[in-house]
Homo-oligomer: A and B are copies of this chain.
Amino acid sequence: MLDVAATAGVSVATVSAAVNGTAPVSSELRGRIENAIAAIGYKRNAVARSLKTGATKTIGLVIADITNPFFTDVVAVIQDVLHRAGYAVMLCCTDEDPEQQEEQISLLLDRMVDGLIIAPAGNDHALERVLQRAGIPTVLIDRISHGIAADAVVLDNQRAVQDAIDYLVGLGHRRIGYISGSLDTSTGLGRLAGYCGALENAGIQHDDALVRIGNFREKDAYNAAMQLLVMPERPSAIFSANNLMVIGVMKAIRDMGLRCPDDISVSSFDDFPWADVFQPNLTTIAQPVQAIGEHAAQLILDRLADRSDRPPRQIVLAGRLTIRASCRPFSAPEAR
């Protein structure tokens, strides 16, 4: 900028004013400055700018797993909206590990991000303290962390799972296996509550043995499903609490020599773009990823715009049960 000022024969203050349009500059000087900029190939140094202004125009985005299509779908729309608003996005993954989460958030805070969008892993109170201290706008997505009073956009997980289980019950299923996500997350908890609620409504006795923890991971879900499938009286249907886990469930079913939906019905949280064209065509709960992303981005932009301390807003969206062909009416097992 000094070089520009020198070749244009003006002061740096004027260059700054011209570049940012923060103060009137005569067209004469503006012309000279623009020429100088073009000649030198000057680019404003965002780091120095950030140091002075205290704003990096960057948002930190913390999710569990970049390999999970649900998160990437949401990330894609968040990025889109924020870029349009002049913000860059710094993406970090926690692998569902609270310790890594803290590390990543610390890294983002070091870099002075202006705001944070987080899908919290675990239910650590550490997060609460860290965010308190950071004192920057934060919005929670997908999951909420107990005790953190922040803007959030989440799904009505309980309602959504209840719909799915109701559907299975309606097909006559009574012994329904449930592969749960980590119970350290609000999603894990909420979805399980939906399962339990639906069973209770239907007057079906809850059987602890039918609920297994898959930690939202394919591998863990595979093992969990295996345990379900080797039971003497195995479930006639299995519900998986997310997209990654249902792959594990399907692999377990295959490895046990069973077929879906002939031998066992399967349904899961999160939709797949290919579900319509690959068999079994999975019956899923589709999340409104577009809406989730847009709301999250908008919430953070609002907070960034007016620093007013309006009370946190929680946006709750609904999942949509998408019935395909992976669930069959219950039929008594012939000879197991």
A186 is an interface residue with CB less than 8 A from chain B? no
Q: Tell me the complex Cα distance, A45–B83, Å.
A: 24
Per-residue interface assignment for chain A, residues 112 to 137, with 1 indicating a CB less than 8 Å from any chain B CB and 0 otherwise: 10000000000000000000010000
Q: Tell me the complex Cα distance, A45–B66, Å.
A: 28
Q: Tell me the complex Cα distance, A75–B46, Å.
A: 25
A111 touching B88 by the CB < 8 A rule? yes
Cβ distance A63 to chain B, nearest Cβ, rounded Å: 11
Q: Tell me the complex Cα distance, A250–B278, Å.
A: 8
Q: Tell me the complex Cα distance, A279–B275, Å.
A: 11
A76/B93 contact (C-beta < 8 A), A254-B277, A273-B218, A277-B254 known: yes
A67/B73 contact (C-beta < 8 A), A48-B51, A278-B250 known: yes
Query: In which size bucket is the chain A interface?
Result: 35 or more
A66/B75 contact (C-beta < 8 A), A47-B51, A110-B46, A277-B254 known: yes
A47/B50 contact (C-beta < 8 A), A254-B277, A277-B247 known: yes
CB contact between A276 and one of B72, B251, B273 (< 8 Å): that residue: B251
A280 is an interface residue with CB less than 8 A from chain B? yes
A336 is an interface residue with CB less than 8 A from chain B? no
CB contact between A67 and one of B72, B110, B279 (< 8 Å): that residue: B72
Given A67-B76, A254-B277, 7 more A-B residue pairs with CB atoms under 8 Å apart are A47-B56, A51-B51, A67-B69, A76-B93, A79-B91, A88-B90, A218-B273
Using a CB–CB distance below 8 Å, which chain A residues touch chain B? 41, 43-48, 50-51, 56, 58, 65-67, 69, 72-73, 75-76, 79, 83, 88-93, 106-112, 133, 218, 247, 250-251, 253-254, 273-274, 276-280
- A-B contacts, 20 of them at CB < 8 A, read A41-B133, A45-B51, A47-B47, A47-B111, A51-B51, A56-B111, A66-B72, A66-B76, A67-B72, A67-B76, A72-B72, A88-B90, A88-B108, A88-B111, A90-B91, A247-B274, A250-B274, A250-B277, A251-B277, A279-B280
